[in-house]
Structure 1
Amino acid sequence: MHKDYQSCIEACLRCAATCDYCAASCLKEPDVDMMRECIKLDMQCAAICRLAAQFMSLGSDYSKQLCRLCADICKACAEECAKHEHDHCKACAETCRRCADACLQMTA
């Protein structure tokens, strides 16, 4: 079953790493207060992406439900990151959108 999930697992792990980078980069921006929601969603998105990847790797019966939640959080993170002009936010928004799509395909 793990192989059936491989592309989604990879998308989730890529998204988690990108969100981590975005959060760390946001903390270095001059106006950190303006980046507060972005950082919060980056951290939540990275966490749910790692958990979804783990559940898929384990072949959990709950993988599809977790992927649905992961897609919702990825979409929220993408929307927030898209509000900012920083390159790390733009890259994160795109990666989150791709991950949300991959997760939604898993739930179909």
Structure 2
Amino acid sequence: MTMPTETVRTAMNDQYDTCMAACDACAHACDTCVAACLAERDTHALADCIALDIECAQLCRFASGAMARRSVLTPGVCALCAQACDLCAAECLRHAHDHCRRCALACEACAAMCRVVA
């Protein structure tokens, strides 16, 4: 038995909406983490974290835009976004700062949602 086209479309829209929200929240968490990392004493030790935060935030915004436009590239963009989120989360978890922990949680949630869409 197949589902009606409208039901499938609604389910996809719900997935996209949930994933876009996760991407937007992750981009915000990454931006916040960058700002907080730059305010820490030893920014050199946080260089990889800062770089990955920036990359992840940019990819999250790009993925959110692709979903909003219903781009045919969305699955690939979301797969790449999930990879960036995984890398960023792993790096953030190497640090004890609260902002890094919060960022890691947002990245993990976003990666999971992006995998659903991809």
TM over 0.5: yes
CA–CA distance in 1 between the matches of 2:23 and 2:102? 15
Deviation at 1:69, TM superposition (A): 0.2
CA–CA distance in 1 between the matches of 2:106 and 2:70? 24
Unaligned ranges ≥5, structure 1: none
The equivalent of 2:75 in structure 1 is: 64
State the identity as a percent.
Answer: 43
Deviation at 1:3, TM superposition (A): 2.7
Which of these residues, 37, 51, 65, is aligned with residue 26 of structure 1? 37
Show CA shifts across 1:6-64 (max 9, x none).
00000000000000000000000000000000000000000000000000000000000
Instruction: Return the TM-score normalized by structure 2.
Output: 0.88
The answer as to 2:16 corresponding to 1:3 is no
Instruction: Return the TM-score normalized by structure 1.
Output: 0.96
Q: Paired residues, what number? A: 107
The answer as to 2:82 corresponding to 1:94 is no
Which of these residues, 17, 42, 56, is aligned with residue 53 of structure 2? 42
Counterpart secondary structure, 1:27 = helix
Deviation at 1:84, TM superposition (A): 0.2
Q: Which amino acid aligns with 1:88?
A: H
Computed over aligned residues only, the root mean square deviation of the Cα atoms, in angstroms, reads 1.0
Unaligned ranges ≥5, structure 2: 1-8
CA–CA distance in 2 between the matches of 1:89 and 1:96? 10
CA–CA distance in 2 between the matches of 1:81 and 1:30? 16
